Amino acid sequence: MEKELRMPLLMPLSDMDTDAFIQFFLKDKNGIKSNLQKQGAVKFQGVQIESLGDFQKIVDAISTKFLSYVDGNSPRTKLSGNVYTSTEYDQSQKITMHNELSYSAKWPGELFFSCIEPAQSGGETLLADSREILKAMDRDIIEEISARGVIYIRNLHGGMGMGPSWQDTFETNDKTVAEDYCKKYAIEFEWHDDQLLSLKQASKGIIEHRETGERVWFNQIDQFHPSHLGEEIYDIMLGMYDIPEKFPMYVKFGDGGQISEDLIKEVLRTVDSVTIAPLWEKNELLIVDNELMSHGRNPFTGSRKVLVAMTE
């Protein structure tokens, strides 16, 4: 019998304009919140979101305490005060599953998505319930991560180099601002002569949900480990850097031990086994509990435009 995976709750609406949807949402906010915690994601269909302005108006009205993408590791564009593009990554490649900013000391509680322009083909925002991942994961891996924790390593260039710059990451050109952020969130940092900023961030890897207390898989060890890029790219990077710890990003166990490629392969296989790929249509609003549901993106053809906002 095929495993039943947790799907986002679908709420079809009757072609609501922004004002009608805001009124509907606020009237049943507690019920929607309850469904969000149960399902991990809720998708509203039939909401007239034709532009950045429509999306901004809705998220401003139904949520508060917005987060910027400071300390973020993915390429994206800030479109307005609270709204960003989804990750701008080669459209021929899959973006593997992750909980937003799970490698950081501060991550969003909820994510808001809307697809203004669906892709010609593909481009689904992939979803995988973090509780289901934990349930399916090899017990030995869970025990090891629980006991040893995780250290994320990032080497941010000063304007020229591979990966993100520290200026883009911290949305500033002021070194003091970047340093103050690191100090506030207990991120180890070190400046190098070539304006490179090295960061080390400790993380649990498996956490308890901020409200329900449920244990969830909450890490990006597969995305930070270069083996997920494939053997060819991994070998090229080894030729560019003398040790993996100097890669633009890397990951180790919290006690400094190396994470094996076999472990990463097993993590990728397990997460893939509980991942779903709901199609995008226009006039939809997807709300994701970032601790309960990881997300990714399928490759796509044609143009694709997805807007994102993040709140505490």
- List the chain domain ranges: 9-131+278-311, 132-271
pLDDT recorded at residue 55: 93
The pLDDT of residue 22: 97
- For residue 2, the model assigns a pLDDT of 43
Q: What angle do CA 291, 296, 299 make, to 5 degrees?
A: 175
Cβ–Cβ contacts within 10 Å for residue 209, how many?
17
Name every residue whose Cβ is closer than 8 Å to that of residue 145 and which is 6 or more positions away in sequence.
205, 206, 219, 221, 253
How far is 154 from 72, CA to CA, in rounded Å? 11
CA distance 156 to 150: 19
pLDDT of the residue at 277: 95
- Cα–Cα distance, 109 to 60 (Å, whole number): 16
**Is the Cβ–Cβ distance between 270 and 138 less than 8 Å?**
yes
CA neighbor of 92 nearest in space, from 132, 119, 127, 54: 119
pTM of the model: 0.90
Task: Answer whether 9-131+278-311 and 132-271 agree in fold.
Answer: yes
What pLDDT was estimated at residue 8? 80
**Rounded CA separation 71/300 (Å):** 27
Which H or E element spans position 127?
strand 125-129
pLDDT tens string, the chain, 312 residues long: the values are 345 666 788 899 988 999 999 999 999 999 999 999 999 999 999 999 999 999 999 999 999 887 766 766 665 566 666 787 776 778 998 989 999 999 988 899 999 999 999 999 999 999 999 999 999 999 999 999 999 999 999 999 998 888 889 998 998 999 999 999 999 999 999 999 879 999 999 999 999 999 999 999 999 999 999 887 777 877 888 888 888 899 999 999 999 999 999 999 999 999 999 999 999 999 999 999 999 999 999 999 999 999 999 998
Q: Are strands 150-156 and 249-253 parallel, antiparallel or unpaired?
A: antiparallel
Count CB neighbours of 30 within 10 A.
8
Q: Position of tokens 């990881």?
A: 294
3-class SS of residue 211? coil
Q: What fold, for 9-131+278-311?
A: Double-stranded beta-helix (3.60.130)
Residue (of 166, 242, 227, 225) closest to 198 by Cα position: 166
Task: Give the distance, in angstroms, between the CA of residue 202 and the centroid of all CA atoms in the same chain.
Answer: 17
pLDDT on residue 229: 75
For residue 217, give the nearest of 40, 25, 33, 84 by alpha carbon: 40
Q: What angle do CA 132, 138, 143 make, to 5 degrees?
A: 100
CB distance 204 to 216 below 8 Å: no
Structure token pair of residue 140? 């030995």
**Confidence at residue 1, expressed as pLDDT on a 0 to 100 scale:** 31
Query: From the CB of residue 51, how many other CB atoms can be counted at a distance below 10 Å?
Result: 12
DSSP letters along 201-242, please?
EEE-SEEE-TTT--EEE---HHHHSGGGG-HHHHHHHHHHSS
Q: Which fold has domain 132-271?
A: Double-stranded beta-helix (3.60.130)
Rg (CA), the chain: 19
